[in-house]
Chains A and B, each alone.
Chain A
Amino acid sequence: MSLSREEVLKVARLARLELAEAEVAAFQAQLSAILDYVAQLQQLDTVAVEELAHPLPLTNVFRPDEERPSLSVEEALQNAPQRLGDYFAVPAILGSDEGPVSH
Chain B
Amino acid sequence: MTSSAAATSLSSHGSARPIVEMTAHELLALQERGELTAVAIAEAFLTAAQQLEVHLRSFLWLDAEEVLRQAQAVDLRRRSGQPLGPLAGIPVAIKDVLCTKGIRTTCASRILANFVPPYDAHVIERLKAADAILFGKTNMDEFAMGSSTENSAFQQTRNPWDLQRIPGGSSGGSAAAVAGCQAPVALGTDTGGSIRQPAALCGIVGLKPTYGRVSRYGLIAYASSLDQIGPMAHDVTDCALLLQVIAGHDPRDSTSAPLPVPDYRGRLNEPVRPLRIGVPREFFDKGLDAEVESLVQQALRQYEKLGAKLIEVSLPHAPYALAAYYIVAPAEASSNLARYDGMHYGHRTRHKADLIGTYAKSRGEGFGKEVQRRIMIGTYVLSSGYKDAYYRKALKVRRLIKQDFDQAFEQCDVIMGPTSPTPAFRIGEKINDPLAMYLSDVYTVSCNLAGLPGLSIPCGFTREGLPVGLQLLGPPFSEETLLRIARMYEAVTDWHTRRPKLPVPPSPVTS
Contacts and interface: CB of A to CB of B under 8 A. Distances in A.
B323 A37 contact: yes
Of B317, B348, B392, the most chain A CB neighbours within 10 A belong to B348
Contacts of B347: 81
B395 interface: yes
A16 B377 contact: no
B360 A16 contact: yes
Interface in A46-65: 46, 49-56, 58, 61, 63
Interface residues of A, number: 53
Per DSSP, chain B at the interface is helix
Given A54-B225, A58-B257, A79-B115, A38 B372 contact: no
Contacts, number: 174
B298 interface: no
Nearest to B326: A38
Nearest to B365: A18
A79 B116 contact: yes
Contact of B375 (A17, A18, A30, A75): A17
Interface in A78-102: 78-82, 88, 90-93, 97-99
A56 B253 CA distance: 13
Contact of B354 (A11, A17, A91): A91
Contact of A49 (B326, B355, B363, B400): B400
B377 A31 contact: yes
B317 to A, nearest CB: 7
Contacts of B341: 16
Given A90-B355, A93-B355, A19 B372 contact: yes
B118 A76 contact: yes
Given A54-B225, A97-B354, A78 B118 contact: yes
B387 to A, nearest CB: 11
Given A49-B396, A49-B399, A11 B363 contact: no
Given A11-B380, A56-B211, A78-B118, A41 B399 contact: no
A75 to B, nearest CB: 4
Contact of B451 (A39, A55, A91): A55
A61 B345 CA distance: 29
B360 A18 contact: yes
B352 A99 contact: yes
Nearest to B119: A71
A71 to B, nearest CB: 6
Contact of A81 (B342, B357, B376, B379): B342
Interface string B435-478: 10010000000000111100000000000000000000000100
A15 B324 CA distance: 21
A39 B358 CA distance: 34
Contacts of B72: none
B379 A82 contact: no
A12 B376 CA distance: 7
Nearest to B379: A15
Contacts of A27: 372-373, 376
Nearest to B375: A15
B118 A71 contact: yes
B399 A50 contact: yes
A41 B393 contact: yes
Contacts of A20: 364
B355 A18 contact: no
B435 A33 contact: yes
A35 interface: yes
Interface in B200-230: 211-212, 225
A76 B372 CA distance: 27
Contacts of A97: 352, 354
Contacts of B93: none
Contacts of A46: 393, 396-397, 400
17 contacts: A8-B376, A11-B380, A15-B379, A16-B356, A17-B367, A33-B434, A37-B438, A42-B389, A46-B393, A46-B400, A53-B395, A55-B225, A55-B402, A58-B212, A76-B344, A78-B116, A99-B352
Given A11-B380, A30-B435, A80-B345, 9 more contacts: A8-B376, A19-B364, A31-B377, A38-B326, A39-B323, A41-B327, A56-B476, A61-B254, A92-B354
Q: Which 4 A-B residue pairings sit nearest by Cβ, starting from the closest? A: A55-B451, A79-B345, A18-B364, A81-B348
